[in-house]
C-alpha cells in the first residue's frame, strides 16, 4: 500500500546544486556581495530584494517520491518552478538526467518540458475554453502528435482517472476534485519521466483529498515516475513521501524519510512542526495497514480453505463476500473442527472475537483494541469493504516510539527540576 522506499532502479534524476533565487532588481549583484548571508528580512529592508531560495542542494533519485514540505511562503513553489525554469534561478545549477537545465536555450527548454517533465498545479491551470479531452491532449498537441493518436492516448488516461463520461465537458462543469483529476491526466498523457506537483490537493476538501492521495499512491506503484511533490501539510507529506525535504524561509532544514523526520527532527523548527505528529498520533490505520497474503472468499469450501491456510502456514485468515465485503475471521482450529462436524460453509468457522477499524482511525486509538486481541485487526472502508489488516506488532512498534519520546521528555523535566532543587 505505502510506497515509502525509493525504488532503487537507477541513479540521480534531478540534482539541484547551490540554487539561489532572489526576486528584485540587482539580485545578481546582491549574490556577489557578502550581504548574501544576511537574513531574509534585513536583505528585504536594505535592498528590496526577496530571497526566495537560499543555497539549496539536494538530489532526487529516479523513481523516488520526493516531497517538499514547508509553510506558506517558504519557497516551495519557487523551487519547483525553478526546476523547469518557469522561474529563472538567480544562481546555481539544476541537472536533469545529468544535463544542466540552466544552460539550455529556449528550444532545449521546450523540448525538456514537452518530453521529460509534466506539472500539476494547485489552481489546476486548466484551459477553460477547452473540453476535458482537449485539456488532457494538450501536451501531445504542442508536441505535434496527430489528432487521432493524441485523442486515443488522452482517452486512455481519462479512463484511468475515472472521467470517461466527462471528456466533452468544459472544466467548469466539473467539481474541484474532478478538475484536479483532469490536471493529473493532462500531466500523465505525455508519459513524462518526472512529475512535478505543486500542492495539487491543497484546494480540495479533506475527504476528496485523502481519496486522491490514495489514488496517487496506487498510480505511482503502477507507473513508477519520479515525483516531486510540494505540500504544506505534514500528514500528506508523511503519507506520500519516500523522502521529505523540509523548507523554511527558502532553506532546506532537513531531508529524510518520514520516520527520520518524525523520530529525529533536524532542529527546533522541525520538532515544532512534527510535535503533534508523534507517529501514533499522526499515522492512521490506513497508512500502517498491510495487504494480507491470502484472503478467503465465502464461496470457497471448508476443505479448500484449510488447504490454503496449511500451505501458506497461516493460523487465521479474513473471510470476504462478493465485492470484498468483510464477513469475519476464520482460524485453522475452527476450520478443522468444522470439517470434523461435516459443515459445508466456511461462514460457520468464524472467530467471534474479531476486531475491525476504519482506515482513518488514529493508531493511538487502535492501541486499546490491539491490547485486547491476539488476532490481526481488519481494516474496512466506510462501505464495509475489507481493505487491509493491521498486526498488533505494527501498532506496538509505532506506540513504542511515542513512549520513548515521552520518556525522554520526562527525564529532561526531572533533570531540570533536580537542577532547580540543587541551585
Partner 1 sequence: MVEFPELFQVPLAEWVDAVMSWVLTNWGAAFDAVGDVILFALLRVEWLLLWLPWVVVVVGVGVVAWRAMRRWVAGLLMAGFLVLIGSFGHWDLAMMTLAIIFAAVMISLAIGIPTGIVMARSNSVEAIIRPVLDAMQTMPSFVYLIPALMLFGLGKVPAVFATIIYAVPPVIRLTNVGIRQVPSSVVEAARAFGSSSRQILFEVQLPLAVPSIMVGINQTTMMALAMVVIASMIGAKGLGMEVLLAINRIQIGKGFEAGLCIVLLAILIDRVTHALAARQEYAVTS
Ligand X SMILES: Nc1ncnc2c1ncn2[C@@H]1O[C@H](COP(=O)(O)OP(=O)(O)O)[C@@H](O)[C@H]1O
C-alpha cell belonging to residue 343: 459443515
Contact between 158 and ligand X by CB under 6 A: the answer reads: no
Helices (H), 357-391: 363-371
How far is 134 from 120, CA to CA, in rounded Å? 16
Q: Which stretch binds partner 1 (CB under 8 A): 53-61, 141-149, 239-247, 350-358?
A: 141-149
Residue pair 184/162 in contact (Cβ under 8 Å)? The answer is no
Q: Which stretch binds ligand X (CB under 6 A): 76-84, 176-184, 281-289, 412-420?
A: 76-84
C-beta atoms surrounding 45 within 10 Å: 10
Residue 23 binding target from Mg ion, ligand X, partner 1, none, CB below 5 to 8 Å by type: ligand X
Residue pair 316/332 in contact (Cβ under 8 Å)? The answer is yes
Contact between 125 and partner 1 by CB under 8 A: the answer reads: yes
Residue 295 has phi, psi (to 5 degrees) of -130, 150
What residues pair up with 388 in beta bridges, in sequence order? 379
Output Rg (C-alpha) for the chain, integer angstroms.
26
The residue (of 126 and 363) whose beta carbon lies closer to partner 1 is 126
Smallest separation, CB 143 to partner 1 (Å): 7
Q: Which stretch binds partner 1 (CB under 8 A): 88-96, 103-111, 285-293, 391-399?
A: 103-111
Strand, coil or helix: 356: strand
Residues whose CB is less than 8 angstroms from the CB of residue 267 and which lie 6 or more positions away in sequence, other chains included: 253, 254
Residue 334 binding target from ligand X, Mg ion, partner 1, none, CB below 5 to 8 Å by type: none
Kindly write out the interface string for residues 256-295 of this chain, putting x where it contacts partner 1 by CB under 8 A and - elsewhere.
----------------------------------------
What residues pair up with 17 in beta bridges, in sequence order? 93
How far is 228 from 241, CA to CA, in rounded Å? 9
Range 49-78, binding Mg ion (CB under 5 A): 77
Beta strands 91-96; 12-23: pairing state: antiparallel
Q: Which stretch binds partner 1 (CB under 8 A): 52-60, 90-98, 116-124, 265-273?
A: 116-124
Q: Which stretch binds ligand X (CB under 6 A): 9-17, 30-38, 72-80, 261-269?
A: 72-80
Among 93, 141, 232, 391, binds partner 1 (CB under 8 A): 141
Smallest separation, CB 286 to partner 1 (Å): 31
Q: Which stretch binds partner 1 (CB under 8 A): 10-18, 109-117, 215-223, 255-263?
A: 109-117
Residue with cell 544552460: 103
Among 127, 269, 297, 367, binds partner 1 (CB under 8 A): 127
Smallest separation, CB 272 to ligand X (Å): 17
Contact between 147 and partner 1 by CB under 8 A: the answer reads: no
Helices (H), 144-290: 147-160, 176-189, 206-223, 234-240, 258-263, 268-274, 279-282, 285-288
Among 18, 46, 99, 111, binds partner 1 (CB under 8 A): 111
Between CA 269 and CA 264, with CA 17 as vertex, the angle to 5 degrees is 30
List interacting residues with ligand X (CB under 6 A): 23, 50, 52, 70, 72-78
* Site of interaction with partner 1 (CB under 8 A): 84, 86, 109-115, 117-119, 121, 123-131, 133-134, 138-139, 141-143, 168, 170, 186, 190
Amino acid at each position: 500500500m505505502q510506497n515509502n522506499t525509493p525504488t532503487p532502479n537507477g541513479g540521480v534524476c534531478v540534482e539541484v546544486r547551490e540554487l539561489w533565487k532572489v526576486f528584485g532588481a540587482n539580485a545578481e549583484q546582491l549574490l556577489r556581495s557578502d550581504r548574501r548571508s544576511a537574513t531574509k528580512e534585513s536583505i528585504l529592508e536594505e535592498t528590496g530584494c526577496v530571497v526566495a531560495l537560499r543555497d539549496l542542494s539536494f538530489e532526487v533519485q529516479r523513481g523516488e517520491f520526493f516531497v517538499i514540505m514547508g509553510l506558506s511562503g517558504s519557497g516551495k513553489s519557487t523551487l519547483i518552478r525553478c526546476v523547469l525554469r518557469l522561474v529563472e534561478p538567480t544562481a546555481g545549477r539544476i541537472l536533469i538526467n545529468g544535463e544542466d537545465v540552466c544552460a539550455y536555450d529556449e528550444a532545449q527548454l521546450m523540448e525538456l518540458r514537452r518530453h521529460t517533465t509534466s506539472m500539476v498545479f494547485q489552481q489546476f491551470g486548466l484551459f477553460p475554453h477547452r473540453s476535458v479531452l482537449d485539456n488532457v491532449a494538450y501536451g501531445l498537441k504542442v508536441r505535434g502528435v496527430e489528432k487521432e493518436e493524441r485523442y486515443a492516448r488522452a482517452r486512455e488516461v481519462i479512463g484511468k482517472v475515472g472521467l470517461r463520461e466527462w471528456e466533452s465537458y468544459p472544466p467548469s462543469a466539473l467539481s474541484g476534485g474532478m478538475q484536479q483529476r483532469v490536471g493529473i491526466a493532462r500531466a500523465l498523457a505525455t508519459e513524462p519521466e518526472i512529475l512535478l506537483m505543486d500542492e495539487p490537493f491543497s484546494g480540495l476538501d479533506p475527504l476528496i483529498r485523502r481519496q486522491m492521495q490514495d489514488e496517487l499512491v496506487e498510480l505511482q506503484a503502477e507507473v513508477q515516475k519520479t515525483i516531486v511533490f510540494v505540500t504544506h501539510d505534514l500528514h500528506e507529506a508523511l503519507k506520500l513521501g519516500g523522502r521529505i525535504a523540509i523548507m523554511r524561509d527558502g532553506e532546506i532544514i532537513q531531508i529524510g524519510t518520514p520516520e527520520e523526520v518524525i523520530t529525529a527532527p533536524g532542529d527546533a523548527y522541525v520538532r515544532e512542526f512534527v510535535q503533534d505528529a508523534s507517529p501514533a498520533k499522526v499515522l492512521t490505520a490506513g497508512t500502517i495497514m498491510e495487504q494480507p497474503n491470502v484472503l478467503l472468499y465465502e464461496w470457497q469450501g471448508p476443505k479448500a480453505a484449510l488447504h490454503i491456510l496449511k500451505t501458506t502456514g497461516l493460523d487465521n485468515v479474513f473471510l470476504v463476500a462478493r465485492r470484498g465485503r468483510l464477513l469475519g475471521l476464520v482460524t485453522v482450529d475452527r476450520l478443522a473442527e468444522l470439517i470434523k462436524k461435516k459443515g459445508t460453509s466456511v461462514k460457520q468457522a468464524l472467530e467471534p472475537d474479531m476486531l475491525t477499524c476504519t482506515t482513518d482511525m488514529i493508531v493511538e486509538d487502535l492501541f486499546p483494541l490491539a491490547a485486547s486481541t491476539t488476532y490481526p485487526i481488519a481494516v474496512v472502508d466506510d462501505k464495509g469493504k475489507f481493505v487491509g489488516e493491521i498486526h498488533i506488532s505494527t501498532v506496538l512498534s509505532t506506540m513504542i516510539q511515542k513512549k520513548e519520546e515521552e520518556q525522554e521528555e520526562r527525564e529532561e523535566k526531572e533533570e531540570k527540576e533536580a537542577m532547580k532543587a540543587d541551585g
